Amino acid sequence: MIGSGFSFSDGGQILVSAQRPLGIVLVQDPDTGAIRVAEVDPSGSAGRGGVRVGDVLVAVQNASTEGVDLGDVLAYIGNGPRVMNLRLRRA
């Protein structure tokens, strides 16, 4: 199994495999609909994987989050596997 906090960079994006609970707070921009990281617990698996405040969530488990409501994304994460793959774009 992939350990929590694994990540790699792909140009302007970062892929993080993090174990739930992720240790991040997500918010949705009311103007653009983009889902951004508002808070990061540095000792949480996403924080150890390099997630930063301001990162934009692009996909979860290879499913795009573009145009998706934050509540649906949170439900998807909550019902997903123990280790989640998050693709983020650096702000």
pLDDT tens readout for residues 59-82: 999 899 999 999 999 999 999 999
Kindly state the tokens that stand for 61.
Answer: 């488990």
Question: Looking at the predicted structure, is the pLDDT value of residue 7 above 90?
Answer: no
Identify whether 1 is part of a domain: no
Q: For residues 49 and 14, what is the distance between their CA atoms, to the nearest angstrom?
A: 9
**What is the reported pLDDT for 53?**
97
pTM: 0.86
Q: For residues 58 and 29, what is the distance between their CA atoms, to the nearest angstrom?
A: 13
Mean pLDDT of 10-29: 91
Mean pLDDT of 9-20: 84
CATH number for the domain that contains residue 65:
2.30.42.10
Identify whether 40 is part of a domain: yes
Identify whether 37 is part of a domain: yes
Q: For residues 65 and 44, what is the distance between their CA atoms, to the nearest angstrom?
A: 22
Structural domain tally of the chain?
1
Q: The domain containing residue 61 runs over which residues?
A: 6-89
